[in-house]
């Protein structure tokens, strides 16, 4: 299948796209808003020129934040347009870059669907001098429209699993020309670099830079400690909250003053998780109320956006969700960078390399159920020397892998200011 056939099938599939959007809007009403942007209609006022950066959803947006800040510092004359595909990603982008200090410098909208006319309308409005795509969000028409206009395209912090590579290989007539139009593919590992080359990327455009997620900087003001045993279960998905609450109930039997900070991954689940906590009899405080946590509170529901690092910092121990269910896990490095012992479930296929490094260093502990989770947390509270060893191991892994952001910025700099 080549790009023209792909485009034709995409047009035929628009009713299915509309149906899926309606279904998601039924689950999360935010999907019913700003639909025009998904077809490059009704875009907000956007200052043309500068850098266009695409981060598909929440995780990519968080990973891109240090890159955006460095680009703003290095190229103050260039506006940065950040796009995403999901309401949660949009909310996170606005939470991170909606402050007055970013006004006129960072702008945001949804990325239109990968239709040539929608991609063309978007690029005519934004007119970027550089396009940066986070990780592996590859859209043939957007990339081709950039190439046709002479806009260099970089794939940043790129990942490509063996399974994904096999999938792309089945559509070689579509994949190979698309990858050949990329001007920089900054990959996390040498193995992934070889996969990109074998699929058709130009060898001279593929560079191993490492993962920029290791280049996370932490405000020292965050490093505070509560006066009671506190643990956090962050980025939880449906099916995990019940396990987490069961573990917390067991911990309360040993530590009656223990506090769980429970942070669902998606905002549309905030109310349902709050109701679950109340039905199960936990004294629950919503972070969004702004009220102080009291001694009788057993659960603090993290129902705000942009505060995850702050909430991580309040805890002694961090459990990272999306891992007790087969979702593939979420970013393990944020709690590690804050010096927290990191716990997870067994499903970490989205972060295999990072999980392997943390596991080998002794910074990550995995468990599959409520009993195992509560036992491990109780052990870490009981054995502060074990918790300290995990903290030190996590920080050592972070420090050993830093430098990817600088290498990526060097590559992007060559595209922004090409040498004659």
DSSP-derived letter for residue 111 is P
For the chain, the distance separating the N- and C-terminal CA atoms, rounded to the nearest angstrom, is: 37
pLDDT for res 1 = 86
pLDDT for res 58 = 81
pLDDT for res 267 = 86
334 and 309 Cβ atoms separated by less than 8 Å: yes
373 in helix, strand or coil? helix
| CA-based torsion, 344, 346, 351, 353: positive or negative | positive
Domains for the chain: give ranges and CATH numbers. Answer: 35-215+403-416 (3.40.50.11720), 220-401 (3.40.50.2000)
* Catalytic annotation present for 60: yes
Q: Which of 58, 68, 39 is nearest to 141 (CA)?
A: 39
Sequence-ordered alpha helix ranges (H) in 13-151: 14-27, 58-74, 87-97, 116-126, 140-148
How far is it, in rounded angstroms, from Cα 307 to Cα 40? 31
- Which run of H or E residues covers position 84? strand 80-84
Rounded to the nearest 10 degrees, how much is the dihedral formed by the CA atoms of 110, 111, 114, 116? 110
Chain mean position to CA 115 = 25
User: How much of the chain is in helix, strand and coil states, percent to nearest 5?
Assistant: 50, 15, 35
150 in helix, strand or coil? coil
Please name the residues in contact with 409: beta carbons below 8 A apart, sequence gap of 6 or more. 67, 70, 71, 74
pTM (two decimals): 0.84
Is beta strand 130-134 parallel, antiparallel or unpaired with respect to 153-158? Answer: parallel
pLDDT for res 27 = 83
Q: What is the mean pLDDT of each run of 10 residues along the chain (420 residues)?
A: 94 94 89 94 94 90 91 95 93 89 93 97 97 92 97 95 91 96 96 96 96 81 74 97 98 96 93 97 95 93 88 95 94 93 95 93 97 97 97 95 95 87
Neighbours of 316 (CB within 10 A): 21
82 and 93 Cβ atoms separated by less than 8 Å: yes
| CA-based torsion, 359, 383, 371, 246: positive or negative | negative
| Active-site position among 60, 91, 135, 137 | 60
pLDDT for res 88 = 86
Please name the residues in contact with 244: beta carbons below 8 A apart, sequence gap of 6 or more. 233, 236, 260, 262, 319, 321, 370, 373
DSSP-derived letter for residue 183 is S
Q: Which of 143, 282, 310 is nearest to 226 (CA)?
A: 310
How would you label 39-73 residue by residue, b for 16+ Cβ within 10 Å and e otherwise? Answer: bbeebeebeeebbbbbbbbbbbbbbbbbbbbbbbe
Q: Which of 397, 384, 261 is nearest to 320 (CA)?
A: 261
258 and 228 Cβ atoms separated by less than 8 Å: yes
Structure tokens given for 142: 């957007």
Paired with 234 in beta bridges are 263, 320
pLDDT for res 67 = 95
Paired with 82 in beta bridges are 53, 108
Please name the residues in contact with 113: beta carbons below 8 A apart, sequence gap of 6 or more. 10, 17, 38, 39
Paired with 301 in beta bridges are 262, 286
């Amino acid at each position: 299948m080549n790009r023209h056939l792909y485009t034709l099938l995409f047009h035929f599939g628009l009713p299915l796209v509309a149906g899926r959007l309606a279904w998601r809007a039924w689950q999360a009403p935010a999907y019913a808003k700003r639909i025009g942007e998904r077809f490059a209609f009704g875009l907000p006022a956007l200052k043309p020129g500068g850098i266009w950066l695409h981060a598909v959803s929440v995780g990519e947006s968080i990973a891109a934040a240090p890159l955006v800040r460095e680009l703003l510092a290095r190229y103050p004359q260039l506006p940065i347009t950040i796009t995403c595909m999901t309401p949660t990603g949009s909310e996170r982008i606005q939470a991170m870059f909606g402050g007055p200090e970013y006004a006129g410098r960072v702008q945001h909208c949804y990325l239109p669907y990968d239709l040539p006319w929608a991609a063309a309308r978007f690029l005519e409005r934004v007119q970027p001098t550089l396009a940066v795509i986070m990780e592996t969000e590859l859209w043939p028409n957007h990339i081709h429209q950039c190439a046709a206009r002479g806009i260099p395209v970089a794939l940043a912090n790129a990942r490509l699993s063996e399974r994904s590579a096999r999938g792309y290989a089945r559509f070689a007539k579509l994949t190979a020309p698309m990858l050949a139009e990329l001007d920089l593919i900054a990959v996390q590992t040498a193995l992934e670099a070889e996969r990109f080359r074998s699929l058709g990327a130009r060898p001279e455009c593929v560079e191993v830079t490492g993962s920029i997620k290791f280049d996370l900087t932490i405000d020292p003001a965050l490093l505070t400690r509560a006066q009671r045993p506190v643990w956090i279960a962050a980025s939880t998905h449906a099916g995990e909250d019940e396990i987490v609450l069961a573990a917390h109930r067991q911990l309360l039997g040993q530590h009656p003053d223990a506090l769980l900070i429970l942070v669902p991954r998606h905002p549309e689940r905030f109310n349902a998780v709050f109701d679950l906590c109340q039905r199960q009899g936990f004294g629950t405080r919503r972070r969004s109320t702004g009220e102080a946590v009291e001694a009788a509170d057993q659960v603090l529901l993290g129902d705000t956006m942009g505060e995850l690092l702050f909430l991580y910092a309040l805890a002694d121990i961090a459990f990272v969700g999306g891992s007790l269910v087969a979702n593939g896990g979420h970013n393990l490095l944020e709690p590690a960078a804050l010096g927290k012992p990191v716990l997870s479930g067994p499903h970490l296929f989205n972060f295999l390399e990072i999980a392997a490094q943390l596991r080998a260093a002794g910074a990550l502990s995995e468990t599959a159920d409520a009993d195992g989770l509560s036992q491990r947390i109780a052990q870490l509270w009981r054995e502060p020397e074990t918790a300290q060893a995990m903290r030190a191991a996590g920080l050592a892994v972070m420090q050993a892998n830093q430098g990817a952001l600088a290498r990526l910025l060097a590559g992007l700099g060559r595209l922004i200011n090409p040498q004659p």
